[in-house]
Structure 1
């Protein structure tokens, strides 16, 4: 009987130990992943990133009109609850507007010089990010009435050439090309944005214009693009930055990241922009 009593006590102890262990396991399980998932759902987090909402205004160089319109639409689809308002103009004009207090949250320039002006004025929220490059190309009407074939032809007497004003990125690139090549162009007009130059060509008011390669592509068959080797002397780098005092800084930073992302780079490359 003594042995039987001892055996029973051992079985009872084992049963009690198992019962306590199962209770502890059940308690740990009840306090684990379900509550974590619920917290993530409540905060709107997905894959470790917090959901963002709000409206931002993006000031961007005129040469970015097509790509940024597409990228803004993609961004709004990726971040439901966000709205991106776009304002396109020459980079120098946009800088003037921002310095004078125009409500902008993000600035994308067609050159580093105009971005540096905002940095010097302490108007950037952190540093800028280079996201693309671009080069100039000669644009002529589809019929090419002046028979333009090279950069030298733009300096011929009687050829009506339109270029950007020197303070505009496409204009400063033109100046650099003229200095490097020795070709001096006597334009019939200097425009405040590259899209204005292209407009003069497509309307037939000019025999040729110096615009970005990307603008020639976007114009389709309304113009013919003539590449020239001297364009390599002036490659424009495009930077983008969140502005100090942005109304929705999280949305602004997310938009900047979207432009620099692989998806953003794919859209830019398709339009003819080079890598930064």
Structure 2
């Protein structure tokens, strides 16, 4: 029988933040400081800043552990997992990419949504071209970068453009949201459609312009432990940390929406 992440975390004693006691798959008690080893986490590129903080917080709470984080586009990470790349936890930027992994029966539990996100128009500081709507992006001479259509931010972009009835000819289609935002940061694009959290993380270089159509493509972020996890106790504890109040606070501070 498969267990949800929340149920597994409760069984292991990590559902309540700060809990010192746990049990090893119901066999014997484990205290928080007895957790050990590396927890390998594959996470969507848009989670980089938040998960760097979450990983550091988890290590501080469990001094004998090390969190090894790898970031890339969710679709790329899902392909790696299905192809046999070893990892303990997968945090995706959409249910569709997580389904690639669950359909291959490579998870041990039902994925849990731990955050949501939505798009903004990222522009250079001061918004020199005065871009305030999706329609503005279609003006002649406006260079726009978007995510590739097969990654979650690209799927969300297609939805919002369709909702607004706007057709674009992007100057770049990037494999993940960080690379898309970099086009604005490097001056090779006047605007980019990226997640709110990414624009906020790069606030020294860009600003995010909100637009109403983004509410029609809010992206859910699921997390799951992987079937061949080398550190299943560490995986369950890490997931519980993400779902608990400490992890959730980091995510909200980064601009993510509540699950």
Q: 2:229 matched to 1:246?
A: yes
Task: Check whether the contact 2:86–2:228 (CA below 8 A) recurs between aligned residues.
Answer: no
* Residue of structure 2 in register with 1:266 after alignment: 249
Aligned mates of 1:219, 1:166 — CA distance in 2: 23
Q: 2:206 matched to 1:223?
A: yes
How far is 1:48 from its partner?
Answer: 5.0
* Residue of structure 2 in register with 1:76 after alignment: 59
How far is 1:145 from its partner?
Answer: 3.5
Aligned mates of 2:161, 2:134 — CA distance in 1: 9
User: Is there any run of 5+ residues in structure 1 with no aligned partner, and where?
Assistant: 1-44
Change (3 A) 1:193 1:48: closer
* Residue of structure 1 in register with 2:76 after alignment: 93
Choose between structure 1 and 2: higher strand proportion. 2
How many corresponding residue pairs?
232
* Residue of structure 1 in register with 2:26 after alignment: none
Q: Which stretch has the larger CA shift, 62-71 or 176-185?
A: 176-185
Q: 2:110 matched to 1:135?
A: no
Q: 2:143 matched to 1:160?
A: yes
Q: Which stretch has the larger CA shift, 137-146 or 180-189?
A: 137-146
1:64 to 35, 47, 59: 47
2:69 aligned counterpart, secondary structure? strand
- State the 4+ residue runs in structure 1 displaced beyond 2 angstroms: 45-49, 143-147
How far is 1:184 from its partner?
Answer: 1.3
1:240 aligned counterpart, secondary structure? strand
Aligned mates of 2:113, 2:136 — CA distance in 1: 34
How far is 1:221 from its partner?
Answer: 2.4
Task: Check whether the contact 2:121–2:194 (CA below 8 A) recurs between aligned residues.
Answer: yes
How far is 1:46 from its partner?
Answer: 4.0
Aligned mates of 2:86, 2:141 — CA distance in 1: 44
CA RMSD of aligned residues (A): 1.3
Aligned mates of 2:125, 2:132 — CA distance in 1: 13
Aligned mates of 2:161, 2:46 — CA distance in 1: 21
Note the alpha carbon deviations across 1:65-85, whole angstroms, 9 max, x for none: 000000001101111211110
User: Is there any run of 5+ residues in structure 2 with no aligned partner, and where?
Assistant: 1-18, 24-29
Choose between structure 1 and 2: higher helix proportion. 1
Change (3 A) 1:183 1:79: same
1:257 to 240, 248, 252: 240
Task: Check whether the contact 2:153–2:177 (CA below 8 A) recurs between aligned residues.
Answer: yes
Q: 1:2-151 counterparts in 2 under 5 A?
A: 46-47=20-21, 50=30, 51-151=34-134
Q: Which has the higher contact order (CA 8 A, sep 6+)?
A: 2
Bigger Rg, structure 1 or 2: 1
